[in-house]
Structure 1
Amino acid sequence: MSSVMYFVHILGSLSVGFYLLLPFVVAKISKLSLPAQEGSAVAIRSLNIIAQFGLLVQFISGGYMLSKGSYSVAWMIVVIVLLVALFAVSGMMSKPLKAAIAGIKENKSIAVETGKLRMMSSIIAVCMLVMVYLMVFSQVI
């Protein structure tokens, strides 16, 4: 059963890997034409939903593997806090995405929404990098 959960955990991490590329994608949105901006925002919103399901898979499979492994309490707390932060910020990102899509359709400026998306995507990417580091080097903490 643990090898199945490990495989499921790896599949979940592939879907969550989208968050590592997101800051670079969001940085280029303002330089695109309006139809391309709308398409990019819709694609980011769809991929964000898929990645949130991936986070849920990570939570379930990681919880199972956590119960079977021997990790320090500090490591478990840090990883769970990072996972909750990823859930929170990826969920908060949906409002500026919806506002950006609506603003593009109404030919309004989306500079405020793009700034929020840039900040949130950077926070998510940093959390992901720290989490990947802790997964690979679990003996650090």
Structure 2
Amino acid sequence: MWKVTFFLHMIGTLAVGFYLVLPFVLGKAEKLSASAKEGTLSFISGFNRFAQYGLVIQLLTGGYMMSQGDYSVLWMVIVVVLMLAMFAFGGIIGKPLRLAAAGMRENRDVSAETSKIRTFSLLLMVALVLMIFFMVYNEIV
């Protein structure tokens, strides 16, 4: 059972890995035309939903593996807080993505939405890097 759970956990990791490259994709999207930006935002919105499903897989498989292992309470709290932060940031970024794509179609100014998207994508990347750090160095705390 452990190997199957670990395999599913790694599949979820690949899905969530999108959040590592998201700030860089958004940085390149600034130089695109309006219609290309709209397509990029739709692409990002779809992958955000895919990464959210990956987070659910991470939560379920990680919770099972955590219950089978011997980890400190502080480490478990840190990991759960980071996971909840990633769920929150991934969910919050969805509305500005939809509003920005709709604004691009209507030729409105979407600078407020794109600013929120950039901020939350950076927060997602930082939370994921911290999560990876604590997964690799789980004996540190």
Amino acid at match of 1:111: S
Counterpart position of 1:109 = 109
Identical aligned residues as a percent: 45
Q: Provide TM-score, normalisation by structure 1.
A: 0.98
- Deviation, structure 1 residue 28: 2.3
Counterpart position of 2:21 = 21
RMSD, matched Cα: 0.6
C-alpha distance in structure 1 between counterparts of 2:3 and 2:51, whole Å: 22
C-alpha distance in structure 1 between counterparts of 2:107 and 2:37, whole Å: 11
C-alpha distance in structure 2 between counterparts of 1:3 and 1:28, whole Å: 38
Counterpart position of 2:67 = 67
Counterpart position of 1:96 = 96
C-alpha distance in structure 2 between counterparts of 1:106 and 1:66, whole Å: 48
Deviations 1:3-57 (A, max 9, x none): 1000000010000000000011112222210110011000000000000000000
C-alpha distance in structure 1 between counterparts of 2:58 and 2:42, whole Å: 24
Q: 4+ residue stretches of structure 1 with deviation over 6 A?
A: none
- Deviation, structure 1 residue 125: 0.2
C-alpha distance in structure 1 between counterparts of 2:110 and 2:30, whole Å: 8
Counterpart position of 2:58 = 58
C-alpha distance in structure 1 between counterparts of 2:55 and 2:17, whole Å: 10
1:40 equivalent to 2:40? Answer: yes
Give ranges in structure 1 of 5+ residues lacking alignment: none
**SS of residue in 1 equivalent to 2:107:** coil
C-alpha distance in structure 1 between counterparts of 2:140 and 2:117, whole Å: 31
Give ranges in structure 2 of 5+ residues lacking alignment: none
Q: Provide TM-score, normalisation by structure 2.
A: 0.98
Amino acid at match of 1:140: I
Counterpart position of 1:2 = 2
Contact 1:30 1:114 in 2 (8 A): no
